[in-house]
Amino acid sequence: MATLPLDGLTVVAIEQAVAAPFCTSRLADAGATVIKVERPEGDFARGYDDVAKGQSSYFVWLNRGKQSVRLDLTKAGDAADLEKLIAGADILVQNLKPGALDKLGFGIDALAERHPTLITCSISGYGLTGPLADRKAYDLLIQAESGLCSVTGGPSEPARVGISIVDIATGATAYAAVLEALIARGRTGKGAHIHVSMFDVMADWLTVPLLHAEGGKSPRRLGLAHPSIAPYGVFATADGGQILISIQSDREWLRFSRDLLGDAGLGTDPRFATNLLRMANRGETDRIVAEAFGRRDTETLKAALTTAEIAFAELNDMAALSRHAHLNRITVDTEAGQVAFPAPAPQVAGERRSYRAVPRLGEHDALYRTAPKPRP
């Protein structure tokens, strides 16, 4: 197998759930040796569900290619084993409660003194300081606290984003930050100490609706419509299909009016000629589109949209994703057999990666733990 970008690097991951495991799964995919430190009972994400051949879908997805070591860090011998692991590591990723590592003798400042080339990345809910720094935080809680739920869902009530978007976004942010730190260390020889807060990640991602609110135009929940572009939403076809379209420019609106709506005059109509006008007259805009779409069956409409080069999508469910022509999968080994799921998105020309197995709990204890001494 070809050498991977992070071959030769060692990562110690004191992690659980989703955010940190997402980050370290990508480091493992890139070739790093990721030593996952688990409680004696294991990462609690192992018990989230049982749909992946009797195993947790979350755990199988986010822990491929890692090594599992059980340590009870309240015990001196296990803490000593962790110190050995960190001494040989390039990167430490952790998402314990703020202050937990300090109490165990592994505070970030102390680690920096002992291991000046070490890159540490700590993930928390609200950061190290501030009034909520000590509060427990999970994905949906941050969705609510950050305001994400207020701009998600239909007009009647807020909703949760349908995946663990906060955890995933935080893990991806942490991964990017670790890679930046590796590049910097290659130039300076010095480690780095990174902190990523789930709340900060979501606040960053919510910049556009926040600026709208601060500009006096607070976003409204619109379901499958766009808060600032029209027409941009889902419309029914004559045979019950659901097609979502997006008109991104006034030039597209001209073409759309002529080729799909059958009325070129709508392209320059003073009610619809610009996006701001279409937004001001959104109800009428959507009514005209809905009537035009309702006169065609799904396949005829898709063909017309394709010919006119108008962006569109079908409103699919997970069954449709499972059989989608563009779905790329990888297959990984687990203790219960092989599991196939969507492949990581980046594709490198001329490179086809293979993915290592999902570890069983404590599978690699013998490699890294000091053998317990027999009782006298």
As given in the structure block, the two tokens for residue 178 are 């670790």
Q: Within 13 Å, how many C-alpha atoms sit on residue 51's CB side?
A: 7
Listing from the earlier edge strand, what are the strands of the sheet with 10-14? Answer: 66-70, 33-38, 10-14, 91-94, 119-124, 192-197
As given in the structure block, the two tokens for residue 116 are 């000046």
Listing DSSP states for 136-176 in one string gives ---HHHHHHHHTGGGGSS-TTS----SS-HHHHHHHHHHHH
Residue type, 90: D
Does residue 359 sit in helix, strand or coil?
coil
277-281: Cβ within 8 A, 24+ apart: 278/230, 278/231, 278/247, 278/253, 279/228, 279/229, 279/230
In whole angstroms, give the CA distance from residue 120 to residue 110: 12
As given in the structure block, the two tokens for residue 1 are 């197998």
Q: Do 247 and 273 form a contact (C-beta atoms < 8 A)?
A: no
Q: Which of 193, 195, 212, 226 is catalytic?
A: 226
Number of neighbouring beta carbons within 10 Å of residue 153: 15
Residues in the chain: 376
As given in the structure block, the two tokens for residue 321 are 């994703």
Q: Strand 232-236 and strand 242-246: pairing?
A: antiparallel
Tokens 């409680």 sit at which residue? 39
Q: Do 257 and 264 form a contact (C-beta atoms < 8 A)?
A: yes
As given in the structure block, the two tokens for residue 140 are 């949906």
Our answer to whether residue 226 is catalytic in this structure is: yes
Q: Give the DSSP H or E segment for 197.
A: strand 192-197
Number of neighbouring beta carbons within 10 Å of residue 3: 8
Catalytic center residues: 226
